[in-house]
Amino acid sequence: MKKIRWGILSTGNIANSFVMDLKHIPDAEVIAVGSRTQESADTFGQKYNIPNCYNSYEALANDPDVDVIYIATPHVFHAENSILCMKAKKAVLCEKAFSINAGEAKTMIQVARQNKVFLMEALITRHFPVIHQVLDWVKDGLIGEVRLVQANRCARGEFTPESRVMNLELGGGSLLDLGIYAVGFSSMVYSQVPRKISGFGFIGDYGTDEQGASILEYDNGALAVLTFALRTETINEAYIYGTDGYIKLPDLFAVPNKASLHINGQESIEFEKPILGNGLHYQVKEVHRCLRKGLLESPRMPLEESLQIMETMDAIRSSWDLSYPNDSSIK
Ligand SMILES: NC(=O)c1ccc[n+]([C@@H]2O[C@H](COP(=O)([O-])OP(=O)(O)OC[C@H]3O[C@@H](n4cnc5c(N)ncnc54)[C@H](OP(=O)(O)O)[C@@H]3O)[C@@H](O)[C@H]2O)c1
């Protein structure tokens, strides 16, 4: 089978993890990397044996041999970088958060459709085998009607004002960095748009949200209770409660290797699947499946859902004293 040829846009932490995990996908080949500097592109290229190392994102986007580009820059650049690649007719896998706001997400989707290229948000959780099992349990009605989702995605780190996750100029803060996992989880379980959205956020010394919480209300009063933080550690579990039982995903639910099914009055059932590497390649399997079938978006991570998740996150932070530099959206 002909290999699918990847280009990597930027050379930071997750770009390194991604390339290392691609070794678990036999029909993937990394043939190019683009960085803001030649030195960084060359260092990355030498480390992973990548033949084409470019000193600009434009040069990477215009490499005629590249099939699909992985965008791994800070959130504020996702829209701009994805659009650059899609206009060069490249398929794109773009890191989470998909964009800074719903306005940018809409533009990205329009550009994907105009150029007839594949686009997917790299929200990894839903591509893990454990999640496929969990969604089957829900779909088969084993816990009855889902009434409540709970998810925590909180961590405590020591950050400087310059670090990406705390830097407002780069789209820092707990909602876009970690809250996205909880919001994305709820969106995946309910497969619908919340009808009411609340959002609490604490804005710290660096002007970004250090922690927050949201309650989402869905049809028939079903709820999601979500927390996210960069300066508070919690147990990062997720629960799906239904009328006939519940499903538990233990810490770290966003990168799941096990889940348990608890049907009222029955013995619980465990499902376990060890994770290879960092687990970033499960989403790549989905990208390859879609590209080989000629799909322009993934049924597992549809573009409308990425847009709805951004709309939900816009609503969560709407009452906070926080706006990102490009909140007015891109041209
Ligand atoms: N899926 C996951 O599990 C996961 C985990 C962590 C992060 N992420 C996401 O991946 C993205 C990148 O996160 P990261 O932790 O890898 O960030 P990082 O280590 O700071 O790397 C970001 C890279 O973006 C490029 N860049 C372009 N303009 C920049 C600017 N003005 N300032 C800083 N860097 C700039 C740089 O590469 P060059 O110098 O080569 O151009 C830099 O190395 C974020 O959106 C984050 O949410 C996802």
- Domains in the chain (CATH in brackets) are 4-125+280-296 (3.40.50.720), 129-274 (3.30.360.10)
Residue 188 CA to ligand 1 center (angstroms) comes to: 25
Percent of the chain with pLDDT over 90: 95
The finding on whether 281 has its CB within 6 A of some atom of ligand 1 is no
Q: What mean pLDDT comes out for the span 188-198?
A: 98
**Looking at per-residue confidence, does 160 or 188 come out higher?**
188
In a 3-state reduction of DSSP, which class is residue 116?
coil
pLDDT the model gives residue 128: 98
Which atom of ligand 1 lies nearest, measured to the CA of 73?
A: 24
| Cβ(215)–Cβ(185) below 8 Å | no
pLDDT the model gives residue 101: 96
- pLDDT at residue 232 greater than cutoff 60: yes
What is the sign, positive or negative, of the torsion defined by CA atoms of 326, 224, 188, 132?
positive
Q: pLDDT, tens digit, for every residue of 175-190?
A: 999 999 999 999 999 9
pLDDT the model gives residue 162: 82
- pLDDT at residue 331 greater than cutoff 70: no
Tokens of 5: 């040829």
| Cβ(253)–Cβ(279) below 8 Å | no
Per-residue confidence band for 1, with pLDDT thresholds at 50, 70 and 90:
confident
Q: What mean pLDDT comes out for the span 6-22?
A: 98
The finding on whether 172 has its CB within 6 A of some atom of ligand 1 is no
Per-residue confidence band for 329, with pLDDT thresholds at 50, 70 and 90:
low
Question: For residue 261, what are the β-bridge partners?
Answer: 247, 269
- pLDDT at residue 158 greater than cutoff 70: yes
Q: How far apart are CA 308 and CA 288, in angstroms?
A: 24
The finding on whether 95 has its CB within 6 A of some atom of ligand 1 is yes
Which atom of ligand 1 lies nearest, measured to the CA of 34?
A: 40
Question: For residue 223, what are the β-bridge partners?
Answer: 148, 217
Going by C-alpha positions, the residue among 95, 230, 258 that lies closest to residue 153 is 230
Residue 165 carries which side chain, given as an amino acid letter?
V
Q: pLDDT, tens digit, for every residue of 70-97?
A: 999 999 999 999 999 999 999 999 999 9
Q: Tell the residue nearest (CA) to atom 31 of ligand 1.
A: 170
The finding on whether 80 has its CB within 6 A of some atom of ligand 1 is no
Which one of 54, 60, 70, 164 would you pick to mutate in the ligand 1 pocket, going by the greatest count of ligand atoms within 8 A of its CB? Answer: 164
Backbone angles phi, psi at 94, to 5 degrees: -110, 130
pLDDT the model gives residue 327: 85
- pLDDT at residue 330 greater than cutoff 70: no
The finding on whether 283 has its CB within 6 A of some atom of ligand 1 is no
Which one of 8, 9, 13, 127 would you pick to mutate in the ligand 1 pocket, going by the greatest count of ligand atoms within 8 A of its CB? Answer: 13
| Mean pLDDT across the chain | 97
DSSP state of 274: P
Which atom of ligand 1 lies nearest, measured to the CA of 75?
A: 45
Token pair 């970033």 in the structure block, residue: 280
Q: What mean pLDDT comes out for the span 2-14?
A: 98
Q: How far apart are CA 234 and CA 25, in angstroms?
A: 33
Alpha-helical (H) ranges within 205-318 are 281-293, 303-316
Q: How far apart are CA 115 and CA 131, in angstroms?
A: 32
